[in-house]
Amino acid sequence: MELQVYNIKGETVGRTVKLNDDIFGIEPNNHAIYLDVKRILANRRQGTSKTKHRGEIAGSTRKIRPQKGTGGARFGSIKNPLFRGGGRVFGPVPRDYSIKINKKVKALARKSALSSKAKENAIIIVDKVDFDSPKTKNFVQLKKNFNITEKKLLLILNEIKNNVILSARNLKCSNILSVSQLNTYDILNANVLMMEEEALKSLEQILNT
């Protein structure tokens, strides 16, 4: 597949790039995508939720009423989970939610996600994206130039540029990643991928190894 190369004004620069069929032209593997997205979302969880069980509640352990003779159930202490202010039964404790999968599965998932976007004609190649100063209106104008103002945009840069990141951080439907940060979830979560020409070359080198 060949795509036109544009500048940030939305004008063609007179050349095209050919997308690598081994990356952008494969049949998407839905199971690999599922495994990688599950890994990414699980690894983002902090796992810091915590509640106190009855052994951690501050309070007396004396019997609050006689064990026998009342006709009711026995209660050991005020920290019983059945009472208000008592411990919680089977509450959450800090844990690690992270998941690991093979490198080849991660690479296959990214290739599958990129191929899906290529089939949807949702990839835009630009020669270079950079701004003289960090202004939100610069990024808004960039999206207007390509008629994608209302769409979720993922901009893939060859390397991080502070002016571009600062220009987009106040916009809800805009995300910026470098090639090394690119992942399956963010690819699928965007409606349009905009990629620098140099970023495309770097991406092909990474996924072809």
Domain segments of the chain as ranges = 2-45+99-208, 47-96
Per-residue pLDDT of 88-128, as tens digits, reads 999 999 999 999 999 999 999 999 999 999 999 999 999 98
Percent of the chain scoring above 70 in pLDDT: 100
**Torsion angle in degrees (nearest 10) through CA of 9, 139, 189, 35:** 100
pTM: 0.81
Domain range 2-45+99-208, its CATH number among 3.40.1370.10, 1.10.3720.10, 3.30.565.10, 2.60.40.10: 3.40.1370.10
Pairing of strands 12-18, 2-6: antiparallel
- The answer to whether residue 67 scores a pLDDT higher than 90 is no
Question: CA dist 91 to 42, 81, 98, 138, Å?
Answer: 19, 11, 20, 48
| DSSP per-residue letters across 112-127 | HHHHHHHHTT-EEEES
Residue 61 pLDDT exceeds 90: no
List 124's β-bridge partners, or say none. Answer: 194
Query: How many beta carbons lie within 10 A of that of residue 182, not counting itself?
Result: 21
pLDDT band at 137 (very low <50, low <70, confident <90, very high): very high
Q: Which helix (H) or strand (E) holds 16?
A: strand 12-18
Q: Average the pLDDT over each of 17-31, 71-85, 116-130 and give the range with the smallest value.
A: 71-85
Strand partners, 146: none
Q: Are 1 and 118 in contact (CB under 8 A)?
A: yes
pLDDT at 35: 96
**Cα–Cα dist 111/134, whole Å:** 32
Place of tokens 């990839």: 123
pLDDT reported for residue 74: 83
Q: How would you list the strands of the sheet with 192-196, edge to edge?
A: 12-18, 2-6, 123-126, 192-196, 153-157, 174-178
User: What's the mean per-residue pLDDT of the chain?
Assistant: 91
Q: 138-160 pLDDT, tens per residue?
A: 999 999 999 998 899 999 999 98
Place of tokens 């979560």: 189
